[in-house]
Amino acid sequence: MIDLASILAVTPELVLTFTGLVLLLVSAYAGDGSARIVSWLAVAGLAVALFTLGQPFVHAGGTVFDGLYRADAFGTFAKALIFVAAAACILLSPNWFESDGAMRPEYPVLILFASIGMAMMVSATDFLTLYVGLELNSLAAYVLASFMRKDMRSAEAGLKYFVLGALASGILLYGISLLYGFSGTTSFTGVSFALSDGIGNGELFGLVFVLAGLAFKISAVPFHMWTPDVYEGSPTPVTAFFGTAPKVAAMALTTRVAIVALGPSGAAWQQIIIFCALASIVLGAVAAINQSNIKRLLAYSSINNIGFALIGLAAGTPEGVAAVLSYLAIYVVMTVGSFACVLQMRDQDGKPVETIASLAGLSRSRPGLAAALAIFMFSLAGIPPLFGFWAKFLVFDAAVGAGLTLLAALGIAASVIGAFYYLKVIKTMYFDEPAEPYGAARGAVEYGILTACAAIIVIGYFLNPVLGSASAAAAASLF
C-alpha cells in the first residue's frame, strides 16, 4: 500500500527523480551549451536530496511499500556518502571534458539517475527492489564509461563493462531465483526466516550466486577482472565516480544482504567473505606493483581497499558493520582527492597524461600538487597519523573482537605489500629526475575539492566522534 508515510520516506529519491527529468528536458532544448548550468543544477539537486536525509519524516516511514524499502539510519549514512561523492565528481568534470570539446549536459543527468538507483539499492529490503536499483545504476554507468564516443579506449571500456555486467546480473538473478524457490519469498526478512531452520543445498547455491553477483559490483576478487580496463579506458571524471559512489552503494547493499537476509547462515557466507577479502587485498597489492598507468594503479588500489572493508563485514557484528561504514567514508575522501590530483595531470597542450613516470620531479614544478598527492598515497597505504590508518585500524579491531585474529593478522601483513606501490609514486615525485612539467594549473573548483579532501585526511581524527557515532547508529539499525 502506498500512503503518505511511504511517499515521505523516499523524498530524497523523488527529489533526484524530479531534478533529473527537468534537467533532461533542459538538456534536450538548450543543447550542449547548457552543460555547465545543468551540472550546477544537478549538484543543487543532490544538495537538496542530502538535506532531506536529515529530516525526521524520512525515517518515520520505516519499512514501506509493503516491505520493499526501508528508510533507516544505515541507508541514510550510505546515501549521504553517495550524494556527496556524486556531487564532487560532477564538479570535477567540466574542465576535463571541455578541453576535448566533449562536455555534454547528459553527463550530470546520467549521474543523477545512477544516484537514484544507488539510493534504492542501499534501502532495499527485497530482492526485487535490490535488482531494480542495481540495474538503474548499472545502465547509467555503462553509458558513462563510453561517454567519449570518439575515443576507442572509452568505447572499449563501456563494452567490457556492459558485457561483464550483464553476466554478473545473470548470476545474481539466478541466485535470487534459487533463494526464492527454496524460501518462497523475495523479502530479506522472509529469506532470513527460512534460513533460520537450517540451510539446505539449494539455499546454499543461491547464497553463493547472490554473493558472486554482488562481488562483481564491488570488484572483489575473483570478480574484479573488469576494473582495471574500465578504470583506464573511461574518462577520468567517470573513473573517479566509479571508484566512489557505486562502490559505497554496492558495499552497503552487500552488507545489508549479508546481515539482514543471510544472517542466520553466517557460518556459510562468512567463509566466502573472508576468501574475497584476503584475495582482494593480496591481488590488489601485488598486481599494482608493476603498473605504469596511474588510473590502473588506482583501480587495483580500489580492489585492495574493498578487501580491507570486507574484513569488517566478515566480523558480522555491529562493530564490524560500523567499521565498514567508517572505512567507506574515509575511502571516498581519499579517492576523490586522488582523482582530483590525476585530473591536474596535463601536458602543455592541455592533453591528459596518465603515466606514473610523468610525475617525476613534480615536487619541484608543482609542490602543492605533489604534497596533496603524497598525502593521499600515504593515507591509502595506512600510514599514521593520516586518516587512512584509522580506517584500517577499525576493521582490524572489529575482526579481532569477533575472534578473527588470524584474518586481521593476515590483513595487516598484506597491507605492507600494498604500501610499496603507494610509496613508489611518492618516490617518483620527490626523488626522480624531473620529467617534462605539466601545463599551468587551472580549475578553482577542482583545487578547492582537492584541498578540502587533503585537509580532512590530515585533521580527520578531530572528526572521529561524529563519524564514530554516526556509523555506530547506522550499524545498529541493521541489528
Q: Is 293 helix (H, G, I), strand (E, B) or coil?
A: strand
* Contact status, residue 122 vs residue 74, Cβ threshold 8 Å: yes
Q: How many domains does the chain have?
A: 1
- 342-387 tens-digit pLDDT: 888 887 777 778 888 888 888 888 888 888 889 999 998 888 888 8
**463 SS3 class:** helix
DSSP3 helix / strand / coil % (the chain, rounded to 5): 80, 0, 20
Torsion angle (degrees, nearest 10) of CA 273, 279, 280, 281: 110
- The whole-number average pLDDT for the span 421-430 is 86
pLDDT digit string, tens, across residues 320-349: 999 999 999 999 999 999 999 888 888 777
Span 292-321, pLDDT tens digits: 888 888 999 899 999 999 999 998 888 999
* Confidence band for 1, pLDDT divided at 50, 70 and 90: low
- Taking a C-beta distance cutoff of 8 angstroms, is the pair 340, 419 a contact? no
343: nearest Cα among 150, 118, 96, 124: 96
Nearest CA among 478, 76, 116 for reference residue 261? 478
Residue type, 349: D
Q: Averaged over 240-260, what is the pLDDT? A: 92
Range 404-421 average pLDDT: 86
Query: What's the rounded Cα separation, in Å, for the pair 407 and 150?
Result: 46
Scanning 343-443, the segments in alpha helix (DSSP H) are 362-365, 367-381, 387-401, 405-431
Half-sphere exposure of 364 (CA within 13 A, CB side): 13
The pLDDT of residue 221 is above 80:
yes
What distance in Å separates the CA atoms of residue 80 and residue 447, rounded to the nearest whole number? 22
Question: Residue 182 is inside which H or E element, if any?
Answer: helix 152-183
CA distances from 391 to 217, 311, 369, 387, 468 (A): 21, 11, 24, 7, 11
pLDDT at residue 136 tops 70: yes
Angstrom distance (rounded) from CA 134 to CA 122: 10
Confidence check: pLDDT of 174 > 90: yes
Closest CA to 344 of 438, 452, 437, 432: 438
Taking residues 130-140, what's their average pLDDT? 91
Query: Which residues constitute the domain of residue 176?
Result: 4-476
Q: HSE (CB half, 13 Å, CA atoms) of 386?
A: 21
C-alpha cell belonging to residue 384: 599514521
Q: Torsion-angle region of residue 337: left (phi > 0), alpha (psi -120 to 50) or beta?
A: alpha
Residue 447 has pLDDT above 90, yes or no: no
Give the tens place of pLDDT for each residue, 151-166. Answer: 788 888 888 888 888 8
Overall average pLDDT of the 243-268 stretch: 88
* pLDDT tens digit sequence for 60-113: 667 778 888 888 889 899 999 999 999 999 998 888 777 665 678 888 999 999
Residues with Cβ within 8 Å of residue 452, at least 6 apart in sequence: none
241, 335 Cβ separation under 8 angstroms: no
Residue 264 is given by DSSP the state G
What is the C-alpha separation between 21 and 7, in angstroms, rounded? 18
Q: What percent of the chain has pLDDT over 70?
A: 97
Q: Which three cell numbers stand for residue 247?
A: 562502490
The greatest distance separating any two alpha carbons of the chain, rounded to the nearest whole angstrom, comes to 67
Q: Which of 180, 258, 198, 280 is nearest to 475 (CA)?
A: 258
Q: Which residues, listed in sequence order, are joined to residue 126 by a DSSP beta bridge?
A: 187
What is the pLDDT, as a whole number, of residue 459? 87
What is the per-residue pLDDT for 468?
A: 86
